Amino acid sequence: MKFIAIIPARYQSTRFPGKPLALLADKPIIRHVYENVQKSVEQVWVATDDERIAKTVEDFGGKYIMTRADHPSGTDRCAEAAKVISKSIDFDVIINIQGDEPFVCEPQLDALKKCFEDPNTEIATLVKEIDSDEVLFNPNRPKVVFNKDYYAQLFSRSTIPYIRGKEQKDWLNAHRFFAHLGMYAYRADVLPKITQLTPSPLELAESLEQLRWLENGYRIKIAETKFESIGIDTPQDLMQAKNFLIQK
């Protein structure tokens, strides 16, 4: 099984313009992501529409693909980049890692790769068990439920499942809940197909693109990780990431 990794990264961001180039421990965030991904996947590219990001990647010895600027999601940007890469390299699976995840780690990526030992896996993603009410009831931390074979049944910004007959403060003691971590891997023939799908009712309701895939019959394999993923969406998140590095 041959894996490649693509890191979609754009400069424009409403809450934090230029965040892939923001410095964390004297390195741009995009470099942290790239170097951590390389610990698990040999072939890594940054997919970007911005020359500043491309120049930064080139300067630290990384590879990049220039993509269109009008992609609605990182998945679509990955698909364009994968099409270009496929002209010169054979691969079976594409791993999509957000360009604002500087603490992505080797065990997370290895868990995603292991999902494809199951020949029925079309798409794979990560979950982590929830251990705080702050995450459990936070609509910005999507939750997921999955079946006994570790295939996703539903993602939601709501807390799922609902625990009947118990106060919310007791829910964590009554059930294991899982938060979704936004890393994906796709079989090479599946990625272009899912980018051609039109937005679905559940996706529009929740603003979660993976619901489009479920509604169209694609199977999403779940891998559990014990490692938290810390994304950087705002300058405040960057300060928290710096504090996290100090504490490590």
**Would you state the pLDDT for residue 248?**
59
Mean pLDDT to the nearest integer, 81-107: 96
**Would you state the pLDDT for residue 247?**
63
Q: How much is the mean pLDDT over the chain?
A: 94
**Would you state the pLDDT for residue 239?**
85
* Non-local CB neighbours of 159 within 8 Å, separated by 6+ positions: 136, 137, 143, 171, 177
Does position 229 have pLDDT exceeding 90, yes or no?
no
**pLDDT bracket for residue 196 (50, 70, 90):** very high
**pLDDT bracket for residue 83 (50, 70, 90):** very high
**pLDDT bracket for residue 240 (50, 70, 90):** confident
Taking the C-alpha atoms of residue 92 and residue 122, their distance in angstroms, rounded to an integer, is 11
Mean pLDDT to the nearest integer, 116-144: 96
Mean pLDDT to the nearest integer, 130-151: 96
Amino acid sitting at position 85: I
Of the listed ranges 43-47, 98-102, 208-212, the one predicted with least confidence: 98-102
The pLDDT > 90 percentage for the chain reads 85
**pLDDT bracket for residue 218 (50, 70, 90):** very high
Taking the C-alpha atoms of residue 30 and residue 100, their distance in angstroms, rounded to an integer, is 7
The answer to whether 121 touches 218, Cβ cutoff 8 Å, is no
Which domains, ranges and CATH numbers included, belong to the chain? 3-127+180-247 (3.90.550.10)
Mean pLDDT to the nearest integer, 83-95: 97
Within 160-234, strands assigned E span 178-187, 220-224
Taking the C-alpha atoms of residue 234 and residue 241, their distance in angstroms, rounded to an integer, is 11
Mean pLDDT to the nearest integer, 140-167: 97
Please identify which residue in the block is written with the tokens 């693109």. 209
Mean pLDDT to the nearest integer, 78-101: 96
Does position 137 have pLDDT exceeding 70, yes or no?
yes
**Would you state the pLDDT for residue 233?**
81
Write out pLDDT tens, residues 9-65.
999 877 788 899 999 989 999 999 999 999 999 999 999 999 999 999 999 999 999
**Would you state the pLDDT for residue 246?**
65
Token pair in block for residue 21: 């180039």
**pLDDT bracket for residue 242 (50, 70, 90):** confident
